[in-house]
């Protein structure tokens, strides 16, 4: 009954085998090996983007911060939703990597940035000349931090606003596979075809050990990435082991298979919880994460029985048993029906 | 015949097995798991340093830069040898992570910083008050970047100078295991007992996949490390896989066994090359790296026959066949006698 | 009819004379001269703060950014009102000087940060551990950017929240003299006695040429200021001319006299505008700035007749003559009754 | 007998009068006023560089650091002489403003960077790819920090090396007027005509109160300067007073007249000291600074008699009376013959 996070889950055996298979004698360090070259080619293929520049790192925060620092001048501000991981959960990594840029929060609902609000926010920044910060990249997260999805059409609307303002569009794809699987689209359709210029492609949460790709669709925007990755200590010497993860992940669409399993598990969990009257959904679950309100006493009961998940608001030890506290429940590729059913049986 | 770098070598099977063994279901992310706790305890044990603060990352550049940024104010200068990795090979990572500190080069021979020269350099900085930069941490590398060693006594002499100047002493231990194995000392003897305040402990080059530990012996100096690691994107979510590498590495002294193998291979290679009159040693090899001068034509011959190594100076395609070019030859735990002998037979 | 800004106004003749008087032969550079020592002593006296550390610079942005960078770790966030100069008008200077800190906006009305909202915002940040940014200094502006005032009691309420959170309180006093004059309090009463730890004391807008003081009431918080000032290029060599401005400014309470004149001018302007039915006040003017809504056609009329001021929202060249546009009108020490009356006569 | 520094000297009365004259009523802030426009035009005229971009600040460290940060990527290294002010006397301002660039020291004599040594140093950096820092701007100082001069030919030789390496050439002209006066050249001849891309033009040390210009000859290189100036707090609001200083400085060639006076004073002082057998010159004085060795006892004698200057090495309170200590003696426009003769009479 582990619903704490998809980054607490196991690595898929196919990925572990690929690591072992990659461990054959010597190979050039720092990405000069064959597997690394093949992983880049594979990502280009998957995204139907032969000119994309691709760089691998081991953490999602690194992917986001290196990309945004490469897209934003130090005196720019990045536009993001209030719930954005770059704003709330990366300890100021983007501000640090970029040399002091800002993040300007843009309104929207259910973890999504609203295109109209974005346009207004950008306009509102204007008129201060050199005294204000400059408009910088827009960053959207898909799957969002609230378990909801942007459709290709919604992304295109945001991209249109970004383009009109002359700023690039970044996507934090920590759960990108879950988005593709849920939307039933191609990777290209919700990235460059919809106007995304650069993607943080996360594999860690979906069956890998630690592997994220920086995919820059417009190579003209990639000029700073390599140096920034190096000087932030993110160019791994035994780079073949990053590459091997991605190659295994894309093999026979494993990535989409794993994402679909996680999404299906979350759907099963959603169906079960809908039948519990004490449970209220804060957002309509669309991928592999649920945000639900339940009374404090119920949380205590579930956790005492061994359920593992995080409270998104409030504390277990309050006085009021009936006070609703929000929980985040995340499924990953390894979540079983039995596990879900055991959890639901606790109610 | 692979002598390019120990970071081009394979992962030891024991470490790969440990990764597979760590892959059991869910575990708290970001170092909250049992393996992570055990790895910290194990490092404290190995270093006889129960109060040390320990942090794991995946790259050596990250380890050095995060530690030095935590020890140095932005307006300080780090003292290091001209050959230091932090100066030559990390693309300014320390300068970046620290917010703009400097590196002041200190004289010395064979890759080592000289204690007397350090004292003079620090004194020479003085007298400028707020106009000059402040003295910051001293950083030594053991094994040095030239394959030589600092003894415990030499480190203590440098530590005395640092202490007199009121600055901490950092050790870049990318090849720390090779140093311990070669010196036949305990880990404590060449670190905190000799006056080292913080160590970048590298496991990647010696049989791991990507695992480095920041070991801060004086916990009072560790206050900034956790935040700096996080915001530089170096707190890995599936942290248990960093921990598992270290646990396997220390199991039954595997780390020292692997380092001893690499050192022995380098010693065999050294013995063989000493018999070749065209080969001159630039430094006396003391661990697992050799720096030798050979005529250009000989380099061409060796490389054409399949030997893999890096030129440290000069280019293969020059006109003068007799011009001596410097090569760096590195052995790792996987280097075999047969490989060395095959290489020597090429002469 | 110049109401564009108090930083567009002239230097008071007394200050100009002091500059000339300070220009006697040689004097030690960088603040080592007698005038500099006397200016520090004078500021301590004025603030009844004998232990305060005082540093002079030439710009208000420098004062704010150097102070906040000294009070905030790079991974901290500064709490400020949405209208704060540090957020809107300094091109990210605080984020830059601090090495990448954030600014978290706190609710409130009429340019003021609300103590209750502050408490909630700080609490809301918590619970993310190393993934979130750390709480950093609170920054309030008095006179606010909307021409309103914090009373000593209001500042004390904010200080209590800051103290409970363990963070320091900074005041942007670009128009501090106007606040003291309007409140009829002592400088100490709305700074350290109310819980302010560090003040950017602005003299430029109130009769000086370019002179701002960083006043750190708790000397324990001042350790980084000197180095940060130096390395940002803000330690002026001919420092005596900064000091001379402050000495003249405090002479016979000139600073309060000038501020009172500006405030009185704004009061006269306010009285006049209240009689114009087309004019609506957005905030109750309490010092030397007014924010008023007037129809576009009226703005066009006034500006065509030679009135000089800035629109705070909207553009002169829109279609709708009746659309209300906000103007900011600022008085300084040199604003005359005749000038105000001439302006009012344009209506 | 003040020879401590030209930044300890007085402001020329003509400049003070210009400040007073500029103090007429209101003027647009931040450089939007007429005087500011005229000062830019005047600098372009003086340099015969109609397309140059010009920005004013109040300190030389600001000028250097903002320019170099605009010319250097954060992962670049600036090439400079060991004696460079940016390396020794600005507390790491360039490293800070640029976001962590390095300064690589280049050999040369008498405070000058040698073109041949520069070429070798740049070549020596190569070959490390993304692991090494990138070559950045070359920075020369004219007059040098040792009181010597680069001729136009010498600058052109350095510029040729820079151009071949694809990096820009910066000149720290804190004493640029003294160089022009001493060389008898035009400003253009030792700047853009010789290959200089950007100049820090210092007026403070030569009769102004605090005024430095950033002159970017190639406007394509100026794109970042305005934002960097703003966000470092160096865009002064009452900007007309910076402009007024420059306008007065250039009026009737006052700047060259003042520089010639300082140079002539230094020449008189040099002639007098050459006759003293205890005095040895470390460098051949070419402008307004002398570096001389004198026995400790003689220093004590001179300083006890009221001479004011700085020791460049050693301390007055040593045991050995005969030990030679180096003094720096600087003349400025206000140094009188009487003062020099009084000093010489002390011997």
Neighboring chains of D (3 or more beta-carbon pairs < 8 A): A, B, C
Q: Is the pLDDT assigned to residue D314 strictly greater than 90? A: no
Q: In this complex, which chains have at least 3 CB pairs below 8 Å with chain C? A: A, B, D
Q: Subunits that touch chain B (at least 3 Cβ pairs < 8 angstroms)?
A: A, C, D
Rounded distance, CA C261 to CA C245, Å? Answer: 19
D73 contacts A231? CB cut-off 8 A: no
With b for 16 or more beta-carbon neighbours within 10 A and e for fewer, the C250-283 pattern comes to beeebbbbbbbbbbbbbbbbbebbeeeeebeebb
- CB-based contacts of B271, cutoff 8 Å, min separation 6: none
B333 contacts in chain A (CB < 8 Å): none
Q: Do D7 and C238 touch (CB under 8 A)?
A: yes
Report the C-alpha gap between B50 and B184 in whole angstroms.
22
At B160, list the tokens: 């005395």
Element (H, E) at A202: strand A198-202
* CA proximity to D121, closest of D142, D132, D135: D135
What percentage of chain B carries pLDDT values higher than 90? 97
CA-nearest of B39, B293, D210, D131 to C210 is: D210
Other C-beta atoms lying within 10 Å of the C-beta of residue C346: 14
Average pLDDT over residues D81-107: 98
How far is D80 from chain A, CA to nearest CA, in Å?
22
Q: B120 CA to chain A: closest CA distance, Å?
A: 30
Residue D185: burial class (beta carbons within 10 Å; 0-12, 13-18, 19+): middle
* Chain D contact residues (CB < 8 Å to A): 30, 73-75, 99-100, 130-131, 134, 224, 226-228, 230-231, 235
What are the structure tokens assigned to B291, written together?
Answer: 């720096």
Lowest mean pLDDT segment, chosen from A299-303, A312-316, C93-97, C119-123: A312-316
Rounded distance between C-alpha atoms, residue D197 and residue D155, angstroms: 12
- Give me the mean pLDDT over the D124-149 stretch: 95
Rounded distance between C-alpha atoms, residue C17 and residue C251, angstroms: 12
Query: pLDDT tens, position by position, for chain A (347 residues)?
Result: 899 999 999 999 999 999 999 999 999 999 999 999 999 999 999 999 999 999 999 999 999 999 999 999 999 999 999 999 999 999 999 999 999 999 999 999 999 999 999 999 999 998 789 999 999 999 999 999 999 999 999 999 999 999 999 999 999 999 999 999 999 999 999 999 999 999 999 999 999 999 999 999 999 999 999 999 999 999 999 999 999 999 999 999 999 999 999 999 999 999 999 999 999 999 999 999 999 999 999 999 999 999 999 998 888 988 899 999 999 999 999 999 999 999 999 99
Residues of A in contact with D75 (CB under 8 A): 227-228, 230-231
Least confidently predicted of C127-131, D82-86, D105-109, D266-270: C127-131
Q: Do A293 and A282 form a contact (C-beta atoms < 8 A)? A: yes
Tell me the pTM.
0.97
Bridge partners (DSSP) listed for residue A108: none
Asked whether the predicted pLDDT for residue D240 surpasses 90, the reply is yes
D270 CA to chain A: closest CA distance, Å? Answer: 48
Instruction: Give the length of chain D.
Output: 347
pLDDT value for A314: 84
Average pLDDT, stretch C61-69?
Answer: 98
Give mean pLDDT, residues C231-253: 98
Contact between chains at C134 and B227 (C-beta distance less than 8 A): yes
Nearest CB to A65 within list B204, B233, B241: B233
- Which pLDDT score is estimated for D66? 98
pLDDT at D250: 98
Contact D42, D246 (CB under 8 A): yes
Q: What is the pLDDT of residues B273-328, one digit of tens each?
A: 999 999 999 999 999 999 999 999 999 999 999 999 999 888 898 889 999 999 99
Helices (H) and strands (E) in chain C, counts: 13, 11
Q: Which residue of A has its CA nearest to C128?
A: A89
Tell me the residue length of chain C. 347
Looking at residue A127, its pLDDT comes to 79
Q: Are strands B134-141 and B169-173 parallel, antiparallel or unpaired?
A: parallel
Q: Can you read off the two tokens belonging to residue D241? A: 């007073």
- Residue C242 · residue D58 · CB < 8 Å: no
Q: What's the complex ipTM?
A: 0.97
Say how far apart CA D163 and CA A127 lie, in whole Å. Answer: 39
pLDDT attached to residue B180: 98
Mean pLDDT of chain B: 97
Residue B275, H or E segment: none
Q: Which residues of B touch A59 (CB under 8 A)?
A: 233-237
**Residue C122, both tokens:** 């700080």
Interface of B with C (CB under 8 A): 30, 73-75, 99-100, 130-131, 134, 224, 226-228, 230-231, 235
Residues of chain B with pLDDT under 50: none
Half-sphere exposure of D229 (CA within 13 A, CB side): 26
Cα dihedral A111, A115, A117, A120 sign: positive
Smallest CA–CA distance from C99 into chain B, residue: B99
Residue B61: closest C-alpha in chain D = D131
Tell me the residues of C at the A interface, defined by beta carbons under 8 Å apart: 74-75, 77, 88-92, 95-103, 128, 130-133
Nearest chain B CA: its distance from A242 CA (Å): 10
Contacts of A75 in chain C (CB under 8 A): 91-92, 96
What DSSP character marks residue A305?
T
Q: From CA A147, how far away is CA A129, in angstroms rounded?
A: 38
What pLDDT does residue B314 have?
Answer: 83
Q: Is C232 close to D230, i.e. CB distance below 8 A?
A: no
State percent of chain D over pLDDT 70. Answer: 100
Mean pLDDT of D67-82: 98
For B223, which residue in chain C has the nearest alpha carbon? C73
Angstrom distance (rounded) from CA A62 to CA A214: 9
- Contact at CB, B74 and C231, closer than 8 angstroms: yes
pLDDT of res. B105? 98
Question: Does residue C313 carry a pLDDT above 90?
Answer: no
pLDDT above 90 for D126: no
Q: What is the DSSP string of D113-169?
A: --HHHHHHHHHHHTT-GGGSPEEEEEEEESS-TTS----HHHHHHHHHHHHHHT--E
CA distance B97 to A196: 29
**How high is the pLDDT of residue C192?**
98
Run of H or E including A160: helix A152-165
- Lowest-confidence pick of A26-40, C297-311, D242-256, D313-327: D313-327
Residues in C touching A102 (Cβ below 8 Å) = 92, 95, 102-103
User: Contacts of residue D61 in chain C, CB cutoff 8 Å?
Assistant: 230-231, 233, 235
B225 CB-near residues (< 8 Å, 6+ apart)? B53, B55, B66, B67, B70, B214, B216
For chain B, give the percent of residues with pLDDT over 70.
Answer: 100
Taking the C-alpha atoms of residue C128 and residue A89, their distance in angstroms, rounded to an integer, is 7
Query: In chain A, what residues touch D136 (CB-CB under 8 Å)?
Result: none
The minimal CB distance from B29 to the residues A5, A66, A231 is found for A5
């Amino acid at each position: 009954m582990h619903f704490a996070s998809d980054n607490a889950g196991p690595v898929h055996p196919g990925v572990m085998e690929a690591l072992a298979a990659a461990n054959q004698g010597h190979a050039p360090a720092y990405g000069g090996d064959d597997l690394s070259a093949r992983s880049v080619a594979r990502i280009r293929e998957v995204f139907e983007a032969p000119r994309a520049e691709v760089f691998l790192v081991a953490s999602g925060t690194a992917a986001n911060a290196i990309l945004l620092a490469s897209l934003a001048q130090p005196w720019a501000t990045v536009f993001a939703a209030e719930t954005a991981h770059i704003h709330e959960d990366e300890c100021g990594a983007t501000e640090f990597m970029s040399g002091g840029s800002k993040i300007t929060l843009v309104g929207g609902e259910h973890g999504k940035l609203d295109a109209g609000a974005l346009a207004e926010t950008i306009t509102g920044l204007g008129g201060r000349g050199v005294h204000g910060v400059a408009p910088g990249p827009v960053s959207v997260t898909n799957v969002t931090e609230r378990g909801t999805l942007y459709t290709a059409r919604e992304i295109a609307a945001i991209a249109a606003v970004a383009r009109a303002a002359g700023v690039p569009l970044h996507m934090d794809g920590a759960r990108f596979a879950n988005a593709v699987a849920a939307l039933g689209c191609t990777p290209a359709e919700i990235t460059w075809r919809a106007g995304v210029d650069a993607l943080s492609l996360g594999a860690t949460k979906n069956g890998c050990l630690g592997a994220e790709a920086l995919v820059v669709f417009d190579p003209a925007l990639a000029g700073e990435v390599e140096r920034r990755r190096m000087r932030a200590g993110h160019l791994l010497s035994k780079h073949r082991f990053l590459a091997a993860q991605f190659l295994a992940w894309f093999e026979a669409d494993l990535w989409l298979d794993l994402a679909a399993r996680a999404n299906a598990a979350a759907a099963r969990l959603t169906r079960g919880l809908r039948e519990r009257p004490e449970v209220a959904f804060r957002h309509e679950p669309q991928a592999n994460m649920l945000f639900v309100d339940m009374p404090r006493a119920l949380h205590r009961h579930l956790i005492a029985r061994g359920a593992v998940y995080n409270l998104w608001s409030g504390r277990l030890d309050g006085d009021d048993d009936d006070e609703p506290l929000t929980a985040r429940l995340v499924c990953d590729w390894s979540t079983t029906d039995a596990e879900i059913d055991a959890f639901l049986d606790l109610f």
